[in-house]
Amino acid sequence: MLTPIIPAFKDAYTWRVEYTDGSQLSEITDDGVILPFGAVEMGRVRALGVVAVEGEDAPLFMVWIKPGQRPIFFRRRGIELDPNNGKQTALPATTCIGWQETKRGSNVASYLFITPDGTVILTSDPKAV
């Protein structure tokens, strides 16, 4: 018998972008549809923020995206495995927003990691967390 897939991850934060014309796009639409970050029109993004899934609707954290910068969003997920019974438990994700650009042939980036408890880490290293 196959082991069932790990239960669905429950994220503390979702992304929201604001475009240069003032319009917004959220990861979870008003109809409850979950959009991939690939649905974002990257060249039009003025700001990228994360919003708590539960609670206030205003972005808790935001980064401004300058012309020529590419917005970054990803989550670091973890799984706890009990070696005694094979039970897998999804751990809360760490969320990352930021930007990346190429300057004089070099990759320059800034990453803002937000842990599930709200701890914030600002770094230029995408592997810092």
pLDDT in tens, the chain (129 residues): 444 444 455 788 899 999 999 999 999 888 989 999 999 999 999 999 998 887 666 568 999 999 999 999 999 988 888 889 888 888 888 999 999 999 999 999 999 999 888 889 999 988 888
Q: Position of tokens 């003032």? A: 22
Q: Position of tokens 């997920």? A: 77
Read off the tokens for 5: 């897939």
Note the pLDDT of residue 50. Answer: 93
Region class of 119: left (phi > 0), else alpha (psi between -120 and 50), else beta? beta
Cα distance from N-terminal residue to C-terminal residue, the chain: 35
Note the pLDDT of residue 4. Answer: 45
Note the pLDDT of residue 54. Answer: 74
Q: How far apart are CA 107 and CA 129, in angstroms?
A: 19
Note the pLDDT of residue 61. Answer: 92
Read off the tokens for 54: 């539960």
